[in-house]
Amino acid sequence: MKKDIEKAEARKSKLQDLILDGTISPQDYQDMKGKVDKDLVLFRSKLSGLTDQPSPYKTYITKTVPMLENLTGFYKQADGQTKRKILGCIFSEKLVFEKGRVATTPFMEPIQALFKIAKVLQEGKNKKEVKINLLSTLAPELDKSCNPVKDLLMYQLFKQQYSKTYKSSV
């Protein structure tokens, strides 16, 4: 966008030079200048629209990731309804207590993927092997739908989280 704006401003400047030199008529100058001005307004509005709109991912990362980093602390301070929502995002079924213990409950797919990624990162012997195993872990199963944005965010989150551990072990 910035290049388009610079290009249009250069055209406007050339038009001014042409009118001053008498190369084009005042009517031609007005017609061409009107088109260039229209383009400038369009480019500038597009540029301001791009810079003014915050990315939903930026909001997600700045607000949600810090909460995930301290999920246990957040859970301990939350009220009952919020705790239920957190548990609902982690477990795919309701928690069932049998004889004072929690019965085995399956995790939601994103949580299962996080556990797989953590396992691959802990088992990895060299960098190439870790990358290959991570790619196979993140690849969706054939009968499941793919959500590349979710998978990418999860991969980046765990990559950042475990990169320190991985670097120190290599």
Name the most confidently modeled range: 6-20, 44-58, 67-81: 6-20
More confident residue, 130 or 28: 28
* % of the chain at pLDDT higher than 70: 66
Rg (CA), the chain: 28
168: alpha, beta or left, given left = phi > 0 and alpha = psi -120 to 50? alpha
Is the pLDDT assigned to residue 111 strictly greater than 60?
yes
Is the pLDDT assigned to residue 83 strictly greater than 80?
yes
Residue 155 has a pLDDT of 65
Looking at residue 101, its amino acid is R
Residue 129 has a pLDDT of 61
Alpha carbons 51 and 59: distance in angstroms, whole number: 15
106 φ/ψ angles, rounded to the nearest 5 degrees: -70, 150
Residue 148 has a pLDDT of 60
Residue whose C-alpha is closest to residue 110's, from 92, 96, 84: 92
